[in-house]
Amino acid sequence: MEMSNKTARELWLEVKANPNRARFGFGRRAALVNIDLQKAYTKIDEFKTAYETDPHQLDYVNSLAAQFRQLNWPVIWTYVAYMDSGEDAGVWGTRTNTPDSLQNIKFKSRRSEFDDRLRINRQQDVIYCKKMPSAFFETQLQSLLVWHQVDTVILTGGSTSGCIRATAVDSLSRGYRTIVPEECVADKHESYHYANLTDLMLKYADVVSVSDVSAWLTQQGADRGNLA
C-alpha cells in the first residue's frame, strides 16, 4: 500500500489535474438521477444530518433538470423514508435509535420532504422512495432507463461517500456510462467527500464540472435542431 501524508483534498486535486486521465465519456442519451435532496440532508440550519459542500449545489441541479426536460430525457428524484416501525430500513437502521437516525426519517415527516429550493416537475419527473444506499436497489430505475434507451447516468445529490458512490457502482455494473458533476454532490466532511471523488474518478465514473455536463446537454439540443 502506498503511504502518503497528503490530505484527501490534495490527492483529489492531483487526480483531477492529470490531463491524461482516461474517461468513459458521454453516450447518446442520458438520465439525471438526483439522490436524496431532502431536508434531512440539505437543511443545515435545522438538522444535524444535513451537510453542504457547494452552496450553489441545488441551483446547479435545477439548471440541469431544466435542460433534461427540454430534451425530453428522464429526470429522477429519490428520497428515503421509512415506516413507523423502521423495519423497512432493515439492519441498516439498527446501530442507533435517536431522532437523527436513518430509520426515523418517517413518511410525511419534515425530514423526508424535498428541499423547497428544488424545482421538481411532479407531472413530468419521476420520484422514487428508496430504502438502501443505491438508487437502483429495489426501485424501478433500471426498467425506466431501459425504456428510455439510456446509456449514460448523471448523478447528483448526496452523500458522495454513501448513496452517490453506491449508485455509481451499481450504474457502472449495469453497463452505464456514469457521470458525477463535482459541484452537484456533497458530503458531511471534506475528507469523505474528496476521498470518494478520487475513488469514483479512478474506478467507477467520470467526475467532471457541471459546466461540462451543461455544455454537452446544450450540444445535444443543438444537434437535434440541426436534424429538424
List domains and CATH numbers for the chain: 24-227 (3.40.50.850)
pLDDT for res 159: 98
pLDDT for res 126: 98
More confident residue, 228 or 219: 219
CA distances from 26 to 4, 165, 190 (A): 33, 19, 27
Active site residue 163: yes
Which residue out of 163, 179, 186, 201 is catalytically annotated?
163
Angle at 195 between CA 176 and CA 180, to 5 degrees: 30
228 pLDDT higher than 60: no
227 pLDDT higher than 70: no
How far apart CA 70 and CA 57 sit, in angstroms, is: 20
- Give me the percent of the chain exceeding a pLDDT of 70: 98
Averaged pLDDT for residues 66-95: 97
Kindly state the helix (H) or strand (E) to which residue 44 belongs, with its residue range.
none
pLDDT for res 223: 80
Q: Contact, 126 vs 77, CB < 8 A?
A: yes
Q: Contact, 144 vs 76, CB < 8 A?
A: yes
